[in-house]
Amino acid sequence: MARLSPTAQGIVLMLAAIFLFSTMDATAKALMDRYAPMQVVWARYAGMMTVVAVILAPRLGPLLRTRHLGLQLLRSAFLFAATLSFFTAISTMDIAAATAVMQVHPVILTLGAALLLREPLGPRRIFGILAALSGALIVIRPGADLFSWTALLPLLGGAFYASYALTTRFLGRDEPILTSFLYTAIIGTLVASVLTVPVWQTPSVGDAAIFLGLGAVGALGQFLLIRSLTMAEAGAVAPFGYAGVVFASLWGFLAFDEVPDRWTFLGALVIVGAGLYVWHRETRARAAAATA
């Protein structure tokens, strides 16, 4: 890694983070054969909270100080809703299809930034947004014989995740990213602990270890993602986030004997293509603004 340029290191770290996230998702899907989705969400947050508390223990006091408690609560709520929506979706859907639909979040973020941050929204960006949403509809196919309303959950999760990213932009101006990370873990764990009570099922010793590992993998993925974005510009590493569709397809095939159908492949290509197009337009617009 030391011989690589900072941008190349950022790309490697981004790919590693996305691989860990896909591993976490596959583990969650396997656990949901035996446990309610809410309990698996709890495991994801409780495991992450344990790891974060150990790593950040010497700095907990300073990191807990925030000037935007309300925004931290809102941001954490968005991520919690995105996680619950996605985990519930993959409990009944192929993991590759759900992951592909979830990838609409970058273009939804573009729409949110235009509406809330007054960023320009020209016809090409509108085209990218509509194309990504069309790709999502190709995957979930409303009106098809096998359609269920659960198939809309990853689309809802993408909207929640875009909202989470948008609030992160606001907080990133004034507060350390580790403060936001810590509040995400604390708030998610507290909320999930309350909501898990009605569906709680005591796990076996082996499953308890998997629960802890689920959170640890998610926490490590978050740390690598943060490190990636500090090593390289976001615009350089962002497109590699779409590797999640590939990793999810591999896990689906290897762990669950899931083979994406032609509609999932087509929809995923449309979503990824639209996302890359919007990313390209965003990059060019920022470069033109910097030059001006």
Domain limits, the chain:
6-291
Which pTM does this prediction carry?
A: 0.87
Q: How confident is the model at residue 190 (pLDDT cuts 50, 70, 90)?
A: very high
Quickly list H helices, 141-204.
153-172, 177-196
Q: For 73-87, 100-114, 134-148, 271-285, which range has the lowest pLDDT when averaged over its residues?
A: 134-148
Task: Check residue 228 and give its pLDDT.
Answer: 84
In the predicted model, what is the mean pLDDT of residues 41-57?
A: 88
Give, in order, the Cα–Cα distances in Å from 160 to each of 74, 175, 250, 292: 11, 22, 25, 34
Helices 95-102, 243-256: inter-axial angle, 10-degree rounding: 160
* AA letter at 158: G
Q: How confident is the model at residue 119 (pLDDT cuts 50, 70, 90)?
A: low
Mean confidence (pLDDT) of the chain: 85
- Between these two residues, 198 and 68, which has the higher pLDDT value? 198
Q: How confident is the model at residue 77 (pLDDT cuts 50, 70, 90)?
A: very high
- Between these two residues, 167 and 190, which has the higher pLDDT value? 190
Task: Check residue 117 and give its pLDDT.
Answer: 66
User: For 150-184, what is each residue's pLDDT tens digit?
Assistant: 888 999 999 998 888 888 877 777 788 888 888 88
Residue 279, by phi and psi: left (phi above 0), alpha (psi -120 to 50) or beta?
A: alpha
Give, in order, the Cα–Cα distances in Å from 131 to each of 11, 47, 108, 166, 288: 26, 37, 11, 21, 25
* pLDDT value at 28 more than 90: yes
Q: How confident is the model at residue 285 (pLDDT cuts 50, 70, 90)?
A: low
Spatial CA neighbour of 38 closest among 107, 71, 86, 73: 86
Q: For 79-93, 132-146, 153-167, which range has the lowest pLDDT when averaged over its residues?
A: 132-146
In the predicted model, what is the mean pLDDT of residues 186-213?
A: 94
